[in-house]
Amino acid sequence: MFEKFKKKLVEIFSRKKIDPDEAAEEIPLKLIEADVSVETAEYLGNLVRNKLKDRDFSGELNDVLYASIKEILAIPKPDILNVNKKPFVIMFLGINGTGKTTTIGKVAKYLKSKGKSVVLSASDTFRAGAIEQLSMIGKEIGVEVIKHEKGSDPSSVAFDAIQHAKARNIDYVLVDTAGRMNTNKNLMDEMKKIKRVSNPDITLLVLDAVAGQDSINQARTFHENVGFDAVIVTKLDTDARGGSILSIYHDLRKPVLFACVGQGLDDIMQFDADWYIEKLMPENSIA
Ligand SMILES: Nc1nc2c(ncn2[C@@H]2O[C@H](COP(=O)(O)OP(=O)(O)OP(=O)(O)O)[C@@H](O)[C@H]2O)c(=O)[nH]1
């Protein structure tokens, strides 16, 4: 995982001694090639420089880098399990192909495994295929899917799903939404309307780790137009460089709630900062 990122770090670690100012200059240059944004890479470079210069911090470069990345990842994650509202409504955002529909299935299965009841709202009414895909996932995990016809109002599907959950005392409503392009104004207006009608307790943005810097641009558009609380990063099992996760934390000030590591409905894990940093760092650099 994250081979390219690791390779970049090895290029720095292979040097016997590193001057703090050199590190501050070199680290950003390497990390930008591993999908970290310029802003985040420079910030990280400065954190490393300050720590290396700090007499009280007696670590090696790898300890300093570990601690600096950990500092960036220190934003608390929302807890979606211990909630005191019923139904708890989760709205999912993301452009086509990021893995949004599959991710909803994974989250639904995860919640079910914790003893929670779930209903899915097929509010991507733009594509008939999306309604079908969600219905198949619902069937596979034994969760009901509320759906209308293709082309119908996505907000009214969400409204019906919430009414359904209220009537049956269901714990969670997971609202799928359309993707298309994040630059599409109609899409953003549609998302705003679904948000207004369903009044979600939390809104999660699904980002594909392979998209790298582009995923940060997508996130900015969703942030400015619709707003979201946390991110789910998908496809970390592929050859994604992984650096965009740092930019999500630093540039957007949003936490990553889950990491998805495969196409199966069980391939989801709670995002853990230490797991991520250990995967990023070259093997022989971790004590
Ligand atoms: N390797 C890998 N593939 C994933 C992951 N998550 C989703 N996928 C795949 O990505 C593709 C797109 O996933 P969908 O769930 O259809 O994506 P979507 O964002 O809902 O896209 P639309 O249905 O086109 O709106 C599918 O082939 C999924 O199996 C993941 O974590 N790892």
Residues 48 and 102 reside in one and the same domain = no
Instruction: Indicate the annotated binding residues.
Output: 94-101, 176-180, 234-237
The pTM score is: 0.91
In a domain, residue 46? The reply is yes
| 63-85 pLDDT tens trace | 888 899 999 999 999 999 999 99
Which of 92, 263, 268, 271 maximizes ligand 1 atoms within 8 Å of its Cβ, making it the mutation to test the pocket? 263
Residues 134 and 262 reside in one and the same domain = yes
Domains in the chain, number: 2
pLDDT of residue 286 exceeding 80: no
In a domain, residue 277? The reply is no
pLDDT of residue 14 exceeding 80: no
Question: What is the pLDDT at residue 287?
Answer: 41
Residue 260 CA: nearest ligand 1 atom is 31
Residues 266 and 131 reside in one and the same domain = yes
Q: Is there a contact between 8 and 34 (Cβ–Cβ < 8 Å)?
A: yes
Whose Cα sits closest to atom 17 in ligand 1? Answer: 99
Q: In what order do the strands lie in the sheet containing 202-208?
A: 144-146, 118-123, 172-177, 88-93, 202-208, 230-234, 256-260, 268-270
The conformational region for residue 117 under phi > 0 = left, psi -120 to 50 = alpha, else beta, is: beta
Which of 93, 102, 133, 206 maximizes ligand 1 atoms within 8 Å of its Cβ, making it the mutation to test the pocket? 102
Taking only Cα atoms into account, the Rg of the chain, rounded to an integer number of angstroms, comes to 20
Cα torsion 200, 201, 207, 212: sign: positive
Residue 130 CA: nearest ligand 1 atom is 23
Domain that holds residue 109: 88-270
Residues 198 and 120 reside in one and the same domain = yes
Give backbone dihedrals phi and psi of 148, rounded to 5 degrees, phi first: -120, -170
* Mean pLDDT confidence for 12-16: 65
Q: Give the percent of the chain with pLDDT over 90.
A: 58
Residues 155 and 17 reside in one and the same domain = no
Question: Which residue type sits at 85?
Answer: K
**Residue 184: both structure tokens together:** 């599409």
- For ligand 1, residues with CB inside 6 Å are 94, 96-102, 130, 133, 179, 234-235, 237-238, 260-263, 267
Residues 41 and 117 reside in one and the same domain = no
Residues 154 and 193 reside in one and the same domain = yes
In a domain, residue 115? The reply is yes
pLDDT of residue 203 exceeding 50: yes
Q: d(Cα 200, Cα 90) in Å, to the nearest integer?
A: 6
ipTM value of the model? 0.94
Residues 6 or more apart whose CB falls under 8 angstroms from that of 238 comprise 209, 210
Residues 6 or more apart whose CB falls under 8 angstroms from that of 189 comprise none
For residue 87, what pLDDT band results from cuts at 50, 70 and 90? very high
**Residue 269: both structure tokens together:** 């894990």
**Lowest-confidence region among 3-17, 73-87, 155-169, 262-276:** 3-17
Residues 99 and 27 reside in one and the same domain = no
**197 CA to middle of ligand 1, Å?**
27
Strongest mean pLDDT among 38-42, 138-142, 211-215: 138-142
Residue 234 CA: nearest ligand 1 atom is 31
Residues 148 and 215 reside in one and the same domain = yes
Q: Is 196 strand, coil or helix?
A: helix
